[in-house]
Structure 1
Amino acid sequence: MIKNDLFLRALNGENVERPPVWMMRQAGRYLPEFMEIKKKYDFFTRCQTPELASEITVQPIRRFGMDAAILFSDILVVPQAMDIEVQMKPNFGPYLPNPIRSIADVDRVVIPDVNKELDYVMKAIAMTKEKLASEIPLIGFAGSPWTLLCYCVQGEGSKTFDKAKEFCFTQPEAAHQLLQKITDTTIAYLKAKVHAGVNAVQVFDSWGGMLSPTDYKEFSWQYIQQIIDALKDLAPVIVFGKGCWFALGDMAKSGAAALGVDWTCSARNARYLSGGNITLQGNFDPSRLLSPPEEIKKMVTQMIRDFGKDKYIVNLGHGILPNVPVENAKAFIDAVKEFRP
């Protein structure tokens, strides 16, 4: 039994004494203890070494005592397992030297044995569970098929993902084949994570907002729906689509346990668009963590009042920024823990 099950109860839609809190990207780059590890090991070494990944996962829990931990990893370990080369270049970000641009490229992409190719993730889960000692739940995650396609086709990060969109619009058959391969791999990967011990999973559709509502249904949502259908009876599924406020109505009927919301959508609109019955997660602007701690506390308290304490998980509207002072992150967490209705 998990001792602090606040997060799981909120996912289940139960009444709670206060909403639970965690932060996207809480394991990582804003913490001095993480930076010490970063000096010694490159990015994918940190992801692929279970001892390092599990240590990084629990660092913020030791410091701040969030209500859930999220496994330190990266969405791009999935393409790597599918035999697509992914590098992480310092001061640049992800780089794929052989981007997918044709049906022949798609044909070469493999659907891997996730227990073999991503065994290091499962080992990291086991080690993390041991460190957490049933105190709080552990979240596993994956990128959405569309978001992974963006990197696989573009070959790097982008403000527009124009090459990814061109590929989908000029070679839709090839695009759908690639999306299905990513979806099948992701389902197997998340099932393996649940089997290894994670208590909930989150799908990150970081680039969903790049698509029009019509294109979103075709190139993103139908594949996320497959993932939800395959996982929802095994573990609660959270779907976070950045910039995807227009899809909240469809998302709410999907069988997902909760929906992530970014900071461009107000609590009131998010409740209205999602029908008011599903647990929502979000949506503090990560840049607002650069405000003075006292101001952060006031804003977080107001955010909880806006969303309501039930069917709500306090989080950021995207990942925490590297330049956020540690005391500001602490103010964010403390404001939730000190909240009284």
Structure 2
Amino acid sequence: MNTLDPSHPLAAGRTASNRLVRAYQGERQEVTPVWFMRQAGRSLPEYRELRVGTRMLDACLDPALASEITLQPVRRHGVDAGIFFSDIVIPLRLAGVDVDIVPGKGPVLGSPVRTSADVDRLTAIDPASLDAEVFSPIVEAVRLTIAELGDTPLIGFAGAPFTLAAYLVEGGPSKDHIRARTLMHADPAAWAKLMAWTADVTGAFLRAQVLAGASAAQLFDSWAGSLSLHDYTEHVAPASTRALSHVRDLTYEASSVDADGGETQIRNVPVVHFGVGTGELLKAMHEVGADVVGVDYRIPLDEASRRLGHVVPIQGNIDPAVLDAPWEVLEAHVVDVLERGVDAPAHVLNLGHGVPPETDPAVLTRLVEFVHSR
């Protein structure tokens, strides 16, 4: 185990008692914490104004810009956490991979990785080369952000190994990730080598954020929903465990008070795992080393909790499509989600995917106020 620096927001006590952190640790809160995936970004006019003339990955690697974008929704909406503004392909870019974000399309690779020889060339880049100097823009952005957040926690952000591998093999976005799944079965050795490499690269990225001051870590597996349970457990879960091992050893001392007085406990930095279309994979996604499981909008939270044995804190799962419905419809939907979330030990309200770019920011602000007033 590695103890966080005493100045870290968790170790210093700034965020350790925050309701979001405590909910992630399985303690039900009187007020349900709430934040939104993709809360920073295109739905905010201040973000669009700030991004004029700056490419996405350049914005992610500009510490002052990334920090300001992270802070914008916290200021505007009063959410219970900031989510570090970045992109899942940033660690690939920092490792020297030819990747860019094409507006209207998403991540595009200059040279897709589709053969054993391609995998060998890629993995010749040693993940250990991603040292403090390479991650300095990320570390500085986190430090600038936590200095402004005070006792509001920052959540670290990284893509899961399968999602990164899918982009690498497909060369860009895909509906079914058929090339990636074909490589998985056609050349299991090359696939395992690729997954181990992506796990270490994205794990190092996440660790850098936590060490710099993030109070929780979330691993996003955007494309795991394309996998069967068997393929996930056999060919993907080991790499996700490997990725999370980069942060699972990070601990801090927290004080707690009970009937017998105060005591000090050693706690780990909370880890959240979220995937899209992963209702059949929830238990396996928890078992890779997550403390909390994020649930998308496709299954009710009480059913998700049942599949998780009623012992796992959950996060989710407002349907993003309802954000543009009349307030009465959205309110009823949010109440239903909150009531179903009671089935789990603790619940953090979130969307079942990201904020759509056309969402009215005022709706998100009103939603936060509504949840906090219950």
The TM-score normalised by the length of structure 2 is 0.87
| Aligned mate of 1:69, from 65, 75, 82 | 82
| Alpha-carbon shift at residue 232 of structure 1 (Å) | 2.5
Unmatched runs of 5 consecutive residues or more in structure 2 = 1-12, 251-268
Tell me whether 1:217 sits opposite 2:252 in the alignment: no
Q: Counterpart of 2:158?
A: 142
| Alpha-carbon shift at residue 28 of structure 1 (Å) | 0.7
Mapped partners of 1:176, 1:335: distance in 2? 46
| Aligned mate of 2:139, from 88, 100, 122 | 122
Mapped partners of 2:169, 2:44: distance in 1? 32
CA deviations 1:65-92 (Å, max 9, x no partner) are 1001011000001211222111111222
Query: Could you tell me which amino acid in structure 1 is paired with residue 304 of structure 2?
Result: A
Q: Is the 8 A contact 1:16 1:310 kept in 2?
A: no
Larger proportion of strand: 2
Tell me whether 1:331 sits opposite 2:366 in the alignment: yes
Q: Counterpart of 1:183?
A: 199
Mapped partners of 1:114, 1:90: distance in 2? 30
CA deviations 1:81-137 (Å, max 9, x no partner) are 2221111112222111211111222122212324222321111001101111x2300
Mapped partners of 1:229, 1:47: distance in 2? 24
Q: Which structure 2 residues correspond to residues 163-174 of structure 1 after superposition, within 5 A?
A: 163-174=179-190
| Alpha-carbon shift at residue 184 of structure 1 (Å) | 1.6
Q: Counterpart of 1:317?
A: 352
Unmatched runs of 5 consecutive residues or more in structure 1 = none
Q: Is the 8 A contact 1:190 1:201 kept in 2?
A: yes
Q: Is the 8 A contact 1:85 1:96 kept in 2?
A: yes
Q: Counterpart of 2:116?
A: 103
Q: Is the 8 A contact 2:310 2:345 kept in 1?
A: no
CA deviations 1:214-262 (Å, max 9, x no partner) are 1111222121122334423421110002222222223344442200001
Mapped partners of 1:150, 1:165: distance in 2? 8
CA deviations 1:247-303 (Å, max 9, x no partner) are 222334444220000111111210100010110000111111111233222221221
Mapped partners of 2:67, 2:283: distance in 1? 36
How many positions carry a matched residue from both structures? 338
Q: Counterpart of 2:177?
A: 161
Tell me whether 1:10 sits opposite 2:23 in the alignment: yes
Q: Counterpart of 2:266?
A: none
Mapped partners of 1:43, 1:101: distance in 2? 26
Identity %: 37
| Alpha-carbon shift at residue 186 of structure 1 (Å) | 2.2
The TM-score normalised by the length of structure 1 is 0.95
Mapped partners of 1:253, 1:108: distance in 2? 32
Q: Which runs of 4+ in 1 moved over 4 A?
A: none
Mapped partners of 2:290, 2:206: distance in 1? 14
Q: Counterpart of 1:284?
A: 318
Larger proportion of helix: 1
